[in-house]
Amino acid sequence: MVWTGIAYLRWIFTQENKCGQGIGSKSMTALKADLFQRGIVRFDTDTALTNQVVQHFYEKNHFVREGLTRSYYKTVS
């Protein structure tokens, strides 16, 4: 998703047998460079509060932990 000057990353993943090889970080670096070229000034994402592996990945790739998002849903019957 892209709003004016803001991009939102919904999902990124690497096959489990490829983890730890720098593929995710290289992909993230390329994506950030492309977004910058397109005039994006903010790049947001989120993850589960309990997903410390992904939190570490984002922080390693220079994302800053900013806050806590609440989710809401309604079952339609």
Q: Which residues pair with 9 in a beta bridge?
A: 45
Largest CA distance in the chain: 46
User: Which one is predicted more confidently, 32 or 73?
Assistant: 32
Element (H, E) at 62: none
- Tell me: the pLDDT tens digits for 2-34? 568 999 999 888 898 998 999 999 999 999 999
In the chain, domain spans:
2-45
H runs (alpha helix) in the chain:
23-37, 52-60
* Amino acid, res. 60: K
* Amino acid, res. 10: R
CA-nearest of 61, 68, 75 to 31 is 61
Percent of the chain past pLDDT 90, that is, above it, reads 68
